[in-house]
């Protein structure tokens, strides 16, 4: 039996390819897609802790926050419309990522990115000028549509453009830009909340047009990926693009394999129905479980609601916004660690280490909050050291997420799907991520009100389950060319039995065909 998650020793391929400036610039622009996503994740929590914003749109929440300071702290923000404001975006993103699958497959990765940028631009404008709650919510829905398109296409774009040896690091550019987006949002919230006249929230929400413009303009200049050009029959164009991306004259081997993979995928008429076939079980497990688990780390409780959470545990408004700037900074820095290590230490190591670290922090934070707030949510005076300990462990938790489940939650799915199901499976990945992001955003304030400090233990439980899943069921994918990925499943102790003979033979036949193609 092969070792759990071991790296297969197959007829490994070495495609030549450099980290050309062309690849880097391309990836940087494409990763801007992550920026719009991150900006939104970070902006809503800060805005909803600004009094003028609450007073204008959610006066009931404002009153419960201020009028009666003796009420249960755990429940002060519990409001359906307020949660709807935050979470409507994710529902919209879910729907549009499904549409994006077809656009991405039929027209290329580029148009999806462009559409993402444009929708996002419209949403940001509507939010910045909002006069009523409906404008806020419609704006968030447009932003969500934009995110669906961007998140469906950008990770695919990155994984397909990168030379395989650097695929992990380049793909994490996407996550890095998510974290930069969150940090920028946190910093801007901090400053805009101080604007006299209380209209700073308009700048916070409207500021989203900046990343939207970068993505829109950037996507006009990006080339489409060779994989996608081949898939759409533009062979010569694809070969030229591959040469430019790799910085080499001779890209025959990789090109032929891409053509092969594409031929193989053309035999598939119904990518969606196909996903249900037995041989795609391992891929479907990745496409559904990875995003589900990523959200059940509980990270977005911190990302969306950090200021609200810090406010709840006794920080003033200013200190709350400041603390979320600190967690935002930790998030960015720890993502850099992941970029450094992902192709060296591998995906599994980061997942397992990150899981352990998150678990310990969640238990400590639950204990701290439980000890002071107890069941009735009335902490009395909170000493300074207490706040420091809570923020410290929240930071260590965020760091763990940021070098494990954060980036790998996007990287691993984007690299394990074979081309014939790649676009559809990636849509499933994004939709599942969005469903659970929505769910966590929607139920968090309510859960905080009812589960109290137990909320952190709730997520800790899932961290245990996901770590077990990784240990037994996720093979290592570092340094494996993306079109060679089937090998990984075929040598896995559990998933091997799903990889049917017919499938492996199919590949062998295609490989033979590839030899012929070389002479074309």
Which chain residues interact with ligand BGC by CB under 6 A? 41, 175, 178-179, 182, 294, 299-300, 303, 331, 406, 409-410, 433, 437
| Nearer to ligand BGC (CB atom), residue 204 or residue 256 | 204
In whole angstroms, the minimum distance from the beta carbon of 320 to ligand BGC comes to: 18
| Nearer to ligand BGC (CB atom), residue 302 or residue 421 | 302
| Nearer to ligand BGC (CB atom), residue 49 or residue 179 | 179
Residues 6+ positions from 257 with CB-CB distance below 8 Å:
13, 15, 481, 483, 514
In whole angstroms, the minimum distance from the beta carbon of 410 to ligand BGC comes to: 6
In whole angstroms, the minimum distance from the beta carbon of 409 to ligand BGC comes to: 5
| Nearer to ligand BGC (CB atom), residue 175 or residue 442 | 175
Show the tokens assigned to 390.
């809570």
Distance in angstroms (rounded) separating the CA atoms of residues 126 and 355? 39
Distance in angstroms (rounded) separating the CA atoms of residues 492 and 503? 15
**What does each C-alpha distance from 467 to 22, 220, 255, 458, 520 come to in angstroms?**
37, 40, 37, 15, 48
Distance in angstroms (rounded) separating the CA atoms of residues 246 and 251? 8
| Nearer to ligand BGC (CB atom), residue 7 or residue 308 | 308
In whole angstroms, the minimum distance from the beta carbon of 304 to ligand BGC comes to: 8
**How many Å is the Cα radius of gyration of the chain?**
23
| Nearer to ligand BGC (CB atom), residue 151 or residue 228 | 151
| Nearer to ligand BGC (CB atom), residue 299 or residue 364 | 299
Show the tokens assigned to 401.
């997420």
Q: Which residues of 148-166 are buried (b: 16+ CB within 10 A; e: fewer)?
A: bbbbbbbbbbbbbbbbbbb
Distance in angstroms (rounded) separating the CA atoms of residues 516 and 238? 19
Distance in angstroms (rounded) separating the CA atoms of residues 76 and 54? 13
Q: What number of other Cβ atoms are within 10 A of residue 326's Cβ? A: 18
Contact 74, 456 (CB under 8 A): no
Of 41, 123, 22, 133, the closest CA to residue 85 belongs to 133
In the block, tokens 């070792």 appear at 3
In whole angstroms, the minimum distance from the beta carbon of 291 to ligand BGC comes to: 8
Show the tokens assigned to 12.
């490994």
In whole angstroms, the minimum distance from the beta carbon of 324 to ligand BGC comes to: 12
Show the tokens assigned to 507.
């590949």
In whole angstroms, the minimum distance from the beta carbon of 211 to ligand BGC comes to: 15
Task: Give the rounded distance of the alpha carbon of 116 from its chain centre.
Answer: 15
Contact 67, 285 (CB under 8 A): no
Helices (H), 342-482: 347-373, 384-403, 405-416, 419-451, 454-473
| Nearer to ligand BGC (CB atom), residue 29 or residue 185 | 185
| Nearer to ligand BGC (CB atom), residue 49 or residue 486 | 49
| Nearer to ligand BGC (CB atom), residue 175 or residue 262 | 175
| Nearer to ligand BGC (CB atom), residue 230 or residue 402 | 402
Distance in angstroms (rounded) separating the CA atoms of residues 123 and 37? 13
Q: What number of other Cβ atoms are within 10 A of residue 275's Cβ? A: 19
Distance in angstroms (rounded) separating the CA atoms of residues 442 and 456? 16
Coil, helix or strand for 291?
A: helix
Distance in angstroms (rounded) separating the CA atoms of residues 404 and 91? 25
In whole angstroms, the minimum distance from the beta carbon of 180 to ligand BGC comes to: 10
| Nearer to ligand BGC (CB atom), residue 76 or residue 433 | 433
| Nearer to ligand BGC (CB atom), residue 163 or residue 291 | 291
DSSP string spanning 353-364?
Answer: HHHHHHHHHHHH
In the block, tokens 């995906």 appear at 347
Contact 441, 299 (CB under 8 A): no
Residues in the chain: 520
In whole angstroms, the minimum distance from the beta carbon of 167 to ligand BGC comes to: 17
**What does each C-alpha distance from 426 to 72, 99, 105 come to in angstroms?**
42, 12, 11
In whole angstroms, the minimum distance from the beta carbon of 103 to ligand BGC comes to: 21
In whole angstroms, the minimum distance from the beta carbon of 244 to ligand BGC comes to: 30
In whole angstroms, the minimum distance from the beta carbon of 440 to ligand BGC comes to: 8
In whole angstroms, the minimum distance from the beta carbon of 305 to ligand BGC comes to: 11
């Amino acid at each position: 039996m092969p070792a759990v998650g071991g790296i297969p020793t197959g007829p490994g391929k070495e495609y030549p390819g450099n980290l050309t400036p062309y690849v880097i610039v391309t990836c940087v622009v494409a990763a801007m897609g992550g920026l719009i996503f991150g900006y939104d994740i970070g902006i809503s929590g800060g805005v909803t802790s600004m009094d003028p914003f609450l007073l204008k749109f959610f006066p009931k929440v404002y009153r419960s926050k201020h009028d009666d300071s003796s009420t249960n702290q755990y429940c002060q923000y519990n409001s359906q419309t307020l949660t709807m404001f935050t979470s409507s975006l994710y529902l919209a993103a879910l729907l549009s990522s499904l549409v994006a699958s077809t656009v991405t497959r039929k027209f290329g990765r580029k148009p999806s990115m462009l559409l993402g940028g444009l929708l996002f631009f419209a949403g940001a404008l509507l939010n910045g000028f909002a006069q009523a709650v409906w404008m806020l919510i419609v704006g968030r829905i447009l932003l969500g549509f934009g995110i669906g398109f961007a998140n469906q296409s950008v990770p695919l774009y990155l994984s397909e453009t990168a030379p395989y040896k650097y695929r992990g690091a380049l793909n994490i550019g996407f996550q890095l830009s998510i974290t930069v987006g969150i940090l920028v949002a946190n910093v801007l919230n901090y400053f805009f909340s101080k604007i006299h006249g209380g209209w700073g929230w308009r700048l916070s929400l409207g500021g989203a047009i900046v990343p939207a413009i970068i993505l829109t303009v950037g996507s006009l200049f990006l080339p489409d990926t060779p994989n996608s050009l081949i898939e759409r029959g533009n062979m010569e164009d694809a070969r030229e693009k591959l040469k430019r991306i790799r910085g080499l004259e001779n890209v025959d081997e990789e090109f032929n394999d891409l053509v092969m993979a594409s031929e193989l995928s053309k035999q598939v008429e119904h990518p969606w129905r196909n996903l249900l076939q037995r041989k795609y079980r391992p891929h479907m497990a990745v496409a559904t479980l990875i995003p589900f688990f990523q959200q059940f780390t509980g990270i977005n409780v911190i990302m969306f609601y950090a200021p609200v959470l810090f406010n709840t545990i006794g920080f003033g408004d200013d200190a709350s916004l400041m603390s979320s700037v600190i967690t935002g900074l930790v998030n960015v820095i720890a993502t850099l660690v992941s970029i450094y290590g992902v192709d060296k230490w591998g995906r599994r190591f980061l997942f397992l280490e990150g899981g352990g670290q998150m678990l310990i922090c969640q238990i400590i934070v639950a204990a701290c909050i439980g000890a002071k707030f107890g069941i009735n949510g009335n902490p009395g005076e909170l000493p300074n050291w207490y706040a420091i300990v809570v923020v410290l462990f929240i930071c260590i938790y965020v760091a763990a997420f940021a070098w494990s489940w954060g980036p790998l939650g996007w990287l691993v799915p984007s690299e394990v799907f074979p081309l014939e199901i790649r676009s559809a499976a990636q849509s499933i990945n994004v939709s599942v991520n969005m469903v659970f992001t929505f769910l966590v955003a929607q139920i968090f304030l309510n859960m905080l009100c009812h589960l109290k400090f137990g909320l952190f233990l709730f997520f800790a439980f899932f961290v245990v389950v996901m770590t077990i899943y990784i240990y037994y069921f996720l093979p290592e994918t570092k340094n494996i060319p993306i079109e060679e990925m089937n090998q990984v499943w075929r040598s896995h102790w559990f998933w091997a039995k799903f990889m049917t003979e017919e499938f492996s033979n199919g590949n062998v036949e295609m490989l033979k065909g590839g030899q012929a193609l070389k002479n074309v």
